[in-house]
């Protein structure tokens, strides 16, 4: 019988890609995706019963309160979902591999190009909860934390990725302000899913950074998407984080990914190189089966 993998947050952006890509990148696994509708992760007794019933051999934990604004608005809920539910799942998975998706937001963004040994210093509630959850997960040396940053792709309801957010805003006739002085290293969700499945195979637990190899400003990211999304034309406004109102945002969350790269069978490219590769293939931009050029 094939070993069973459980994926939480299966209706979320990355969870969807993990489930969809499994037949290609993880054919030896019997994959069960759990959405919030199927299992509310804050109901600990139900979670325990479900995990015991499913008897997984691997758990990939993607569920989270993942929007920075929602975390600032309700820090208690953010703690409950991002920290307590994660620690509980990690404890239920104490004898199996457990992979937790964290975020570059554990850093303050003052320097950029962070490596795994750099000291975290979160500046918002989301980053604080992710760091606390990481610490709970990494108490178990057989468990894994992968820090990612801005993730591109499409979701079933078209409401999960930053690309979908931008297009929705533009289609409503509104402008999208993109900071030219805020830097990220985006990756498509399909590449993240392929990387996670390869990491499962490598059996090398620990802390990893995973981002595109090119550091781009939000403005550059928006510009790079224009050829693919003509509806954005005329709606992208170049702005500065100096004028930002709201929760604190790290300025530069570029991540060095040499540690994870050494384990992979393919090269993690920069976002613009990846897009250029897609143009050459003439493929559907976010086609999850290709993963990377």
Ligand X SMILES: NC(=O)c1ccc[n+]([C@@H]2O[C@H](COP(=O)([O-])OP(=O)(O)OC[C@H]3O[C@@H](n4cnc5c(N)ncnc54)[C@H](OP(=O)(O)O)[C@@H]3O)[C@@H](O)[C@H]2O)c1
| Residues near ligand X, by CB under 6 A | 9, 11-15, 36, 40-42, 62-66, 81, 101, 103, 148-151, 160
SS3 184: strand
Q: Which is nearer to ligand X, 75 or 242 (CB)?
A: 75
Residue 47 Cβ vs ligand X, minimum distance, rounded to whole Å: 9
Mode of pairing for the β-strands spanning 216-217 and 183-184: antiparallel
DSSP code per residue over 107-120: S--SS-SB-TTSPP
Residue 173 Cβ vs ligand X, minimum distance, rounded to whole Å: 25
Residue 130 Cβ vs ligand X, minimum distance, rounded to whole Å: 7
Which of 61, 73, 68 lies closest to 6, judged by CA?
Answer: 61
Contacts of 213 (CB under 8 A, 6+ apart): 185, 257, 268, 269, 270, 273
CB-closest chain residue to ligand X: 12
Residue 103 Cβ vs ligand X, minimum distance, rounded to whole Å: 4
Q: Which is nearer to ligand X, 113 or 242 (CB)?
A: 113
Q: Which is nearer to ligand X, 2 or 43 (CB)?
A: 43
Residue 156 Cβ vs ligand X, minimum distance, rounded to whole Å: 10
Residue 211 Cβ vs ligand X, minimum distance, rounded to whole Å: 9
Q: Report yes or no: 71 and 115 within 8 Å, Cβ to Cβ.
A: no
Phi-psi region of 144 (alpha: psi -120 to 50; beta: other; left: phi over 0): beta
Residue 208 Cβ vs ligand X, minimum distance, rounded to whole Å: 13
Residue 164 Cβ vs ligand X, minimum distance, rounded to whole Å: 10
Strands of 9-160, DSSP E: 30-34, 58-61, 98-103, 144-148, 151-152
Q: Which is nearer to ligand X, 36 or 272 (CB)?
A: 36
Q: Which is nearer to ligand X, 15 or 122 (CB)?
A: 15
Q: Which is nearer to ligand X, 103 or 124 (CB)?
A: 103
Which of 28, 35, 25 lies closest to 3, judged by CA?
Answer: 28
Which of 74, 71, 76 lies closest to 105, judged by CA?
Answer: 71
Q: Report yes or no: 237 and 174 within 8 Å, Cβ to Cβ.
A: no
Rounded Cα gap, residues 33 and 21, in angstroms: 12
Q: Which is nearer to ligand X, 135 or 280 (CB)?
A: 135
| Count of CB atoms situated within 10 Å of the CB of 40 | 15
Q: Which is nearer to ligand X, 62 or 123 (CB)?
A: 62
Rounded Cα gap, residues 284 and 134, in angstroms: 35
């Amino acid at each position: 019988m094939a070993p069973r993998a459980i994926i939480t947050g299966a209706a979320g952006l990355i969870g969807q890609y993990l489930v969809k890509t499994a037949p290609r990148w993880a054919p030896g696994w019997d994959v069960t995706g759990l959405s919030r509708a199927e299992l509310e992760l804050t109901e600990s007794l139900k979670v325990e019963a479900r995990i015991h019933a499913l008897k997984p051999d691997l758990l990939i934990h993607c569920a989270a309160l993942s929007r920075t604004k929602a975390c600032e608005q309700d820090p208690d809920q953010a703690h409950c979902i991002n920290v307590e539910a994660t620690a509980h799942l990690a404890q239920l998975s104490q004898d199996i591999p457990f992979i937790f998706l964290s975020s570059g937001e554990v850093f303050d963004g003052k320097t950029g190009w962070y490596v795994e040994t750099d000291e975290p210093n979160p500046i918002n509630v989301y980053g604080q909860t992710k760091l606390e959850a990481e610490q709970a997960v990494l108490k178990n040396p057989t468990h894994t934390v992968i820090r990612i940053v801005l993730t591109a792709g499409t979701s079933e309801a078209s409401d999960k990725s930053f690309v979908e957010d931008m297009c929705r805003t533009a289609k409503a006739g509104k402008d999208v302000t993109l900071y030219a002085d805020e830097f990220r290293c985006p990756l498509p969700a399909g590449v993240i899913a392929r990387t996670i499945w390869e990491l499962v195979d490598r059996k090398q637990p620990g802390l990893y950074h995973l981002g595109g190899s090119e550091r781009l400003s939000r403005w550059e990211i928006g510009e790079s998407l224009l050829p693919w999304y003509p509806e954005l034309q005329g709606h992208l406004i170049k702005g500065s984080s100096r004028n930002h109102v709201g929760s604190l945002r790290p300025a530069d969350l570029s991540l060095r990914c040499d540690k994870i790269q050494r384990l992979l069978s393919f090269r993690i490219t920069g976002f613009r190189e990846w897009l250029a590769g897609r143009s050459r293939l003439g493929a559907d931009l976010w086609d999850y089966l290709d993963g990377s050029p």
